């Protein structure tokens, strides 16, 4: 996941609203990766 570490570092110390927006984007992005991989819960 290129860019995740730099984006996360950029939001440290930022506003709670910007951090929440970052987390929403990451949840969507990583969710797409998990779905595409076909991983299933045990």
Residue % of the chain over a pLDDT of 70 = 69
| pLDDT confidence of residue 26 | 94
pLDDT, position 1: 55
**CA-CA distance, 16 to 14, in Å (whole number)?**
7
Contact present, 4 and 26 (Cβ < 8 Å): yes
Judged against a pLDDT cut of 60, whether residue 21 lies above it is answered with yes
pLDDT of residue 36: 95
């Amino acid at each position: 996941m290129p860019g995740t570490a730099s984006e996360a570092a950029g939001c440290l110390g930022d506003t709670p609203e910007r951090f929440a927006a970052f987390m929403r984007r990451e949840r969507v992005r990583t969710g797409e990766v998990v779905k595409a991989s076909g991983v299933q819960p045990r």
